[in-house]
Amino acid sequence: MANTGWQSAGSASTEMDIGTVDWTDPGNITASDDTAASCSFSASDESYFLVATNFGFAIPAGATIDGMLCRWEGKDGGGAGTVSHSVVNIVKGGTRGSADKSLGASFTATDNEYEFGGVSDLWSETWTASDINASNYGCAMSVVETGGDSETCLMDHCKMIVYYTEPSGFEAPTEMQVSQPYPAGWTASAYLKNRILDWRRRLCGEFVFIEQFDATG
């Protein structure tokens, strides 16, 4: 089974299908840098959905999607109440799915990552590679404040990983060949010795090759 590696959201927005409290600076969840999206409560209430999309996945066409996980990094920003996960949905084609993966756990006063889904969890959906590669694929979360007091939730980052089985006949390249001309000041043997082949999968089994050179040999 292959996987995409963890990828950060490239875009974020809010959706008003639940709750009454909006998020400030939702775009801050695209990097784990302690610059967070925030949601401030004055009483017991629920937030709008914070929607993370545009993960930049490039799963090859024909692959079988096996499962997916989403990790949200956040914390309780302070106050007299308690803030917890409310609803966590997958987003397919820009629409939230029906499966709720929320753990109902309370946020702590320090940043923690909360993981939803699993290696073989399809979130009650059927998937193709193009669904996952689409810019409107992602994950959505709402949070809830209990206790009836002022409270703030800070969400710093959202990232996802997708597990899949490669299509039949899809293989990584196994040989490295010297291309001409090689860089000035190099010998062919030094070029071959120091060539590093780094490839990643693209749609339809196309590969991207990145060469790095060290003229010292």
The CA R_g of the chain, rounded to the nearest whole Å, is 22
Clarify whether residues 127 and 181 are in a common domain. no
Clarify whether residues 157 and 177 are in a common domain. no
Residue type (1 letter), 192: L
Q: For position 161, what pLDDT does the model report?
A: 97
Using alpha carbons, select from 153, 142, 45 the residue that is nearest to residue 86: 142
Domain that residue 201 falls in = 171-217
- pLDDT tens figures, 112-139: 999 999 999 999 999 999 999 999 999 9
Residues with Cβ within 8 Å of 206's Cβ and at least 6 positions away in sequence, in order, are none
**What's the whole-number mean pLDDT along residues 166-170?**
75
Question: Mapping DSSP to helix (H, G, I), strand (E, B) and coil, where does residue 64 land?
Answer: strand
Number of separate domains in the chain:
2
pTM recorded for the entire structure: 0.77
Clarify whether residues 151 and 182 are in a common domain. no
Residue 127 is classified by DSSP as: -
- pLDDT tens figures, 182-198: 455 555 555 454 443 33
